Structure 1
């Protein structure tokens, strides 16, 4: 049974309840002061608390999608690694994007693509970076309707935080459902959503950096990903057809990619982002002594020392509950001093670094992106 299985969660809760009842039942028999009774009390309390914490952890993982599998949890995942092709092409037909499966969107009438759209699970192989990673692509209902058969659509790359799972963007943050509702109500134009993790070299957190001698993650998102998607789907070809959004680590990546590559992304939104790539055990050495690379990964340094790029940014935070509030205000002020880069913000009165906060920010974020992207 998988880590995210409902059966695992139910069994863990049942086991914790049984241990709690057993502790209450056996406690009078273990009330003596000999070493066996004391050891029994300690053992029962320890096992019961571990079971309770395990149940809470499994429930939190179900709700927020931190880890997709047991291997992912213990840093031993094998299904979503980096595949490097030497002198060959990925996929059986050499294409950079392969559709693995399809599923309906969880909306009224969602079983029919012309009404609910469709979610396609895909495998993508970067032509230049040779990074291979899975993703989910949401196609709006209009994509399947005959009157739009020649129309192209804007596309938005959507990134999770770290470690995160791409499925959480669908099940936890409800991006396809929200896009469907907004488009149906005329509040945004139909858009293709490409949903994935920024962690394309798991379990390492690359922070969307082109690591010297390592994964060229920034190049993958700036070049390979748009090229692969555009080659397979009807995406607008002109500059201004692509946007990008993410939360936490994904938010940092989104802002950085738009600042570094305005020719690729006309607009970017960072939900609860930070503004400088961290160095910690999950990232390892990202820069290998390359001072220019390290400085460029600091978005404030970039805005202060590089020409302002022609792109639009949106950042979000909360006055109470988010640690990035003061840094976000400083970043807004810095970008405002530049003329070519445009910035907007969503500042909530309160809201933590979690899915509930981001679900409140996603609808206006998608509307904002829609108003800045071209479908041609």
Structure 2
């Protein structure tokens, strides 16, 4: 039984009901005086509560996909196969005539999560677009991370067959999943509707999680001696996407957005890696990365610890380091969220050539209904910042590079 399957939820619910029934039935036996009876009562109550909490946790995880498998829950994550090479290099391969080939950094993935998402494109891809379920393999980091990729209708149309497209990478919060981005934040559905109505240029949307070493929350930090999250998101991910899809090669065509800790990550990536991402939209972000029980030690020890911590403090960066030429949008509710004062301070601290915009609703909470409301204006704003790539895919390639023209064969929702 999979961790997120309905069968697991039903089994746990039934087990909880059985425990409650056994507790009620056996309680008269434990009502007597004596050490054994007292210990029996404590054991019966404790066992019933644990099973009930576990059943509720399974239901919650199945609904929001915090952890996708038992392995993730217990910290066992998939690692990249030995010898993976970037598609497009001599000897490397990607997808040819619709067949996935060993060596591509973007591989097809199962559709267990994608099949549960409502409102995805159906019908001909050239009319409605398509969402693919893939896994991205980090050539430098060895990370294997699942992703959903939305390709707009124009991607499949003859008039655009040599055209590259801008990219927006959408990041989930912790311990969220790509299912949350697709089902609850409605990333591809919102982008598709905006593009269809002409309010947003055709854009490839990539939904991915920054939690590359679950259950640990690594934020967007290269942990000394540990997970290299920033390298994966700022180097491995863009390289993999460029090798597999017709997307822009210049940073002006790349943006990143997220909610909660994913929003913090979006700001971090844009301000720390402006040569990769030039635009960010952050829904309810923090402006400083710090250690907590879910992260462990993100910055290690030694004399460089303070420097590493300061490097991930965006207010410190604005005061002490050259300001990058990027555009960022921050969203925070005036009432109902705790970060409004910090957001105002960040807005005031931004200086040229960096630009900042904001969405500041009167009411809202740190939840999906608030972020869904903020998504359309955030995407329209990002659309105005990103450039539609002028570069086109050459008609002729050297051997081994042609794989960049093809869409990875992946599990798709049509």
TM class, shorter-length: 0.7 to 0.9
1:315 aligns with 2:330: yes
C-alpha distance in structure 2 between counterparts of 1:297 and 1:216, whole Å: 14
State the TM-score, normalized to the length of structure 1.
Answer: 0.86
1:47 aligns with 2:62: no
C-alpha distance in structure 2 between counterparts of 1:309 and 1:133, whole Å: 29
Counterpart residue number, 1:324? 339
Q: Which moved more, 1:304-313 or 1:4-13?
A: 4-13
RMSD over aligned Cα atoms: 2.9
Q: Which runs of 5+ in 2 are unaligned?
A: 94-102, 390-414
Shift in CA distance, 63/220, structure 1 to aligned 2, threshold 3 Å: same
Q: Secondary structure at the match of 1:66?
A: coil
Q: Which moved more, 1:29-38 or 1:8-17?
A: 29-38
Q: Secondary structure at the match of 1:315?
A: strand
Tell me which of 366, 369, 375 is aligned to 1:353. 366
> How far does residue 52 in structure 1 lie from its aligned partner after superposition?
2.6
Q: Which moved more, 1:313-322 or 1:37-46?
A: 37-46
Q: Which runs of 5+ in 1 are unaligned?
A: none
C-alpha distance in structure 2 between counterparts of 1:38 and 1:127, whole Å: 58
Task: Give the structure, 1 or 2, with the largest relative contact order (CA under 8 Å, sep 6 or more).
Answer: 2
Tell me which of 221, 237, 243 is aligned to 1:209. 221
Tell me which of 200, 211, 225 is aligned to 1:188. 200
Q: Secondary structure at the match of 2:361?
A: strand
C-alpha distance in structure 2 between counterparts of 1:110 and 1:42, whole Å: 54
1:292 aligns with 2:307: yes
> How far does residue 143 in structure 1 lie from its aligned partner after superposition?
1.5
> How far does residue 285 in structure 1 lie from its aligned partner after superposition?
4.1
Shift in CA distance, 68/108, structure 1 to aligned 2, threshold 3 Å: closer
Q: Secondary structure at the match of 1:225?
A: helix
Q: Is the 8 A contact 2:259 2:283 kept in 1?
A: yes
Counterpart residue number, 2:67? 67
Counterpart residue number, 2:321? 306
Counterpart residue number, 2:85? 89
C-alpha distance in structure 2 between counterparts of 1:139 and 1:256, whole Å: 26
State the TM-score, normalized to the length of structure 2.
Answer: 0.78
> How far does residue 269 in structure 1 lie from its aligned partner after superposition?
1.3
* Residue correspondence of structure 1 range 146-165 to structure 2 within 5 A: 146-165=158-177
> How far does residue 85 in structure 1 lie from its aligned partner after superposition?
5.3
Counterpart residue number, 2:107? 98
> How far does residue 316 in structure 1 lie from its aligned partner after superposition?
1.9
Counterpart residue number, 1:78? 77
> How far does residue 131 in structure 1 lie from its aligned partner after superposition?
4.1
Deviations 1:181-223 (A, max 9, x none): 2222333222111111112344443322234444443233223
How many residues align? The count is 370
1:334 aligns with 2:349: yes
C-alpha distance in structure 2 between counterparts of 1:305 and 1:49, whole Å: 52
C-alpha distance in structure 2 between counterparts of 1:214 and 1:40, whole Å: 44
C-alpha distance in structure 2 between counterparts of 1:109 and 1:246, whole Å: 22
C-alpha distance in structure 2 between counterparts of 1:163 and 1:332, whole Å: 27
C-alpha distance in structure 2 between counterparts of 1:42 and 1:297, whole Å: 47
C-alpha distance in structure 2 between counterparts of 1:363 and 1:33, whole Å: 65
1:134 aligns with 2:146: yes
C-alpha distance in structure 1 between counterparts of 2:32 and 2:2, whole Å: 42
Q: Which moved more, 1:325-334 or 1:162-171?
A: 162-171
Counterpart residue number, 1:13? 13
Counterpart residue number, 2:385? 372
> How far does residue 125 in structure 1 lie from its aligned partner after superposition?
3.3
C-alpha distance in structure 2 between counterparts of 1:108 and 1:63, whole Å: 18
